[in-house]
Every structure is written in structure tokens, then in C-alpha cells.
Amino acid sequence: MSSFKFYKPDNMEDLLKVKEELGGRALILAGGTNLLIYIKEGSIREGTLVDIKSLKELKGISGDNGYIEIGAGVTIAEILESPLLNDRVPFFTDTLKNFANPLVRNMASLGGNIADASPIGDTIPSLLVLNGRIKAACLKGERSVPLDRLFKGPGESNLKPDEVIRTVQFSIPERGKGTFIKLGLRNGTSCSVTSVAVWLAAEDGRVEDIRIAFGGVAPIPLRLKKTESLFKGEKLDEEKIRALSGEIDKEISPITDVRGSAEYRKQVSVRLLSRAVRICMGMEE
């Protein structure tokens, strides 16, 4: 039989105290779009639901000198509507246009998408190419964790049992262009089969800097640093893009599941990367 308690902290300190006291048995309830499904399915059967929706310390989007900080409790809809983000980093807001559907976007939080540690969380590839970090808070203080060191496996992160994600931060690169492509089984209300984010800066067709991150091709969302190093310094044409994109084979390890086979994921990932690079180079819309 399931057994749950419910607690609504008034402020951040109360939240951190309950996490200190109960650790992993304090189940942070943000939008609940994942957590309530886990409870309904029976994969979580007990604990104290800690409702953080009204905590203002987890809200807010701010930006200064190319540096952006977003509260973990900010919803996907709030990110999409943010004048600051749409003005300063439209790449990131564009990323989320195909996230679930309006109903889910109104509930789902950025912190929940990251804390869930899904290999196909749609906010993560773009945050990885922006060199995003989280601030993890506990009663003893805060630490900053780069996103590429946060994830351990599907549903597993390096967050400690007494920690909560307070904010997400990144710097907007000074030069270049980014894009995110998500392949789902449908256009709407569909999780990713695989997804790619690319940020690329080029001069006269030659790559000066490139960052590549994928969702759905490994147990965790992944930065492809070896493939990045192959692109760097190269003068790109169609043939070169195709050839270099094929090299991701050595870095990815997709699985077969209900959304697609490992082989299918490998093949479409090569195509998605080629397309993303061409878009960033202005060779395709």
C-alpha cells in the first residue's frame, strides 16, 4: 500500500531543513508532470511530497553581461514567454517550442526537467552547449555543478539527498549561432527519440568553435567532445559535414526501446547533426 505525507514549506530555509531531515524521502514536487506519474505507476510508494511551486526563491529569470540565471521553479511556459530570454538567447527559447504541449509546459519546471535526469530531457542538450551549470543548495550552503558532470545514468544524478536545484545558469557565447532539433514520434506531446543541440562559430566557412550535445543516444545527455574536436578548424562543405557527422558513431551508444532501435537512432543522429551544422552555417533554414 502507498503511504505519503504532504508538506508545503513557506520559504527556502524550511525546504532545506526538510531535505536535511528526510533526505531522499523528501520528494520535491515541482510541476508534478513526472513525479505524479511515478507515484501513479507505483514506482514510488512512500515519502513526503514537498510542494515547492509557490517558493519565490526558486522563481525569476535574470541576466547581466551575457550571463543568465533561471530559477529552478520557472516553468517551460515562463521561459518561452520571457522577454529577456527571447531577446538575449532566442536559441534557448526556440529549443522549447516543441516541448510536450501547452498544458504540460504550464506545469513543468526547468529544475524538474534537469533533476529527473532523463537521457531525453529536452532542456538539457541546449544547456550543455551553453556550458550550463546548476546551483545545488542544502542547509550547509551551495555548490555549482557543471551540467556535463551532473548525470550518472537514466534517472540518476550527482545531486545529494539533502540538495535541491536552486537555479540554472549559463553564459551566452559572444559569437556564433545555435540550433536544436528534436526528433519525436509525433510533432506534439511527444518525448524525443533523439535530439541534438549545436552551437557553432565560423569565419569564412571555417569552424572556429563548435559545441555538440545529444539527447537519447546514451544513458545520459551527452556532450560530444571528440566529434567537436574533429570539426574545429575545418572548412565545411556538404561532403565534409556528412563525413564528420558520421564520426559520432564512435561516441554514442543508443539503446533499442519502444521509440526506436539502436541502429535507427544511430542513423538519424548522423542526419540530425549534419542538418544542425548546416543550419548553423546558414546552408539550410
3-state secondary structure the chain: CCEEEEECCCCHHHHHHHHHHHHHHEEEECCCCCHHHHHHHCCCCEEEEEECCCCHHHCCEEEECCEEEEECCCEHHHHHHCHHHHHHCHHHHHHCCCCCCHHHHHHCEHHHHHHCCCCCCCCHHHHHHCCCEEEEEECCEEEEEEHHHCEEECCEECCCCCCEEEEEEEECCCCCEEEEEEEECCCCCCCEEEEEEEEEEEECCEEEEEEEEEECCCCCCEECHHHHHHHCCCECCHHHHHHHHHHHHHCCCCCCECCECHHHHHHHHHHHHHHHHHHHCCCCC
Task: Kindly state whether residue 91 participates in binding ligand FAD, applying the rule CB under 6 A.
Answer: no
Which of 111, 132, 178, 216 binds ligand FAD (CB under 6 A)? It is: 111
Task: Kindly state whether residue 147 participates in binding ligand FAD, applying the rule CB under 6 A.
Answer: no
Cβ-based nearer residue to ligand FAD, 93 or 109: 109
Task: Kindly state whether residue 121 participates in binding ligand FAD, applying the rule CB under 6 A.
Answer: yes
Cβ-based nearer residue to ligand FAD, 89 or 183: 183
In the complex, what is the shortest distance from the CB of residue 282 to ligand FAD, in angstroms, rounded to a whole number? 28
Strands 192-203 and 206-215: antiparallel
Task: Kindly state whether residue 122 participates in binding ligand FAD, applying the rule CB under 6 A.
Answer: yes
User: Binding mask 49-78 vs ligand FAD (x if CB under 6 A, - otherwise)?
Assistant: -----------------------x------
Cβ-based nearer residue to ligand FAD, 72 or 183: 72
Cβ-based nearer residue to ligand FAD, 111 or 173: 111
Which of 30, 197, 198, 279 binds ligand FAD (CB under 6 A)? It is: 30
Residue type, 198: V
Which of 22, 104, 201, 262 binds ligand FAD (CB under 6 A)? It is: 104
Cβ-based nearer residue to ligand FAD, 68 or 207: 68
Count of chain residues binding ligand FAD (CB under 6 A): 27
Q: Is 87 exposed, middle or buried (0-12, 13-18, 19+ CB in 10 A)?
A: exposed
In the complex, what is the shortest distance from the CB of residue 194 to ligand FAD, in angstroms, rounded to a whole number? 13
| Interaction residues for ligand FAD, span 171-200 (CB under 6 A) | 189, 191
Task: Kindly state whether residue 39 participates in binding ligand FAD, applying the rule CB under 6 A.
Answer: no
Where does this chain bind ligand FAD (CB under 6 A)?
27-35, 72, 99-100, 104, 107-109, 111-113, 115-116, 121-122, 164-165, 189, 191
